[in-house]
């Protein structure tokens, strides 16, 4: 394995840890708003790390472009959809959780 491979593997594992944290948050947080927070934050960073890791091993720049496009699409969709879910939940009268 070359140093690039080690770096890529580290990035992939770090990304997976972010996904794990996001999933734990999704399961453990008390209400829809905090769950959305856990999900979007963790998954966006996690996916970013994974995309970087995979881009290091990509065979061509076209593949890197596609990976970045996937990341950008997920960022865009994740942010917009969680806004829509949260505003929908507010409209239905779901109150944010307070301790």
Partner 1 sequence: MATLTLLQSAFDILLGAALLWLAWRALNCPDLFKAIVLFVAFGLLMALAWVRLEAPDVALAEAAIGAGLTGALLMAALARLRAMTPDEEDSAKRLPLRWLPLAALLLVATGLSYVVLTLPPEAAGLGAEVATHLNSSGVDNPVTAVLLNFRGYDTLLEMVVLLLALLGVWSLGGPPLRRKAAPGPVLDTLARLLAPLLILVAAYLLWVGGHAPGGAFQAGSVLAAAAVLLLLAGWRLPVALTALPLRLTLVAGPGIFVALAVGTLLLEGQLLQYPPAQAGVLILLLEAVATLSIGVTLAALFLGGHPQNDNNDQNNKEQR
Residues forming contacts to partner 1 in the complex (CB under 8 A) are 73, 76-77, 80, 83-84, 87
What does the angle CA 12 – CA 21 – CA 92 come to, to the nearest 5 degrees?
Answer: 130
Nearer to partner 1 (CB atom), residue 27 or residue 99: 27
Work out how close the CB of 88 gets to partner 1 at its nearest, in angstroms, rounded to a whole number: 10
Q: With helix as H, strand as E and coil as C, how does 8-75 read?
A: HHHHHHHHHHHHHHHHHHHHHCCCHHHHHHHHHHHHHHHHHHHHHHHHHCCCCHHHHHHHHHHHHHHH
Smallest separation (angstroms) from partner 1 to the CB of 91? 11
Nearer to partner 1, 30 or 88 (CB): 88
Task: Name the residue nearer to partner 1 (CB basis): 6 or 83.
Answer: 83
Q: How far is the CB of 80 from partner 1 (least distance, A)?
A: 4
């Amino acid at each position: 394995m070359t140093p690039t491979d080690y770096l890529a593997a580290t990035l992939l594992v770090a990304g997976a840890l972010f996904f794990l944290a996001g999933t734990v948050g999704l399961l453990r947080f008390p209400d829809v708003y905090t769950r959305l927070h856990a999900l979007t934050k963790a998954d966006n960073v996690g996916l970013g790390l994974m995309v970087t890791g995979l881009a290091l091993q990509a065979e061509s720049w076209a593949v890197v472009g596609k990976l970045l496009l996937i990341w950008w699409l997920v960022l865009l969709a994740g942010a917009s959809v969680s806004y829509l879910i949260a505003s929908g939940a507010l409209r239905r009268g779901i109150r944010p959780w307070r301790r």
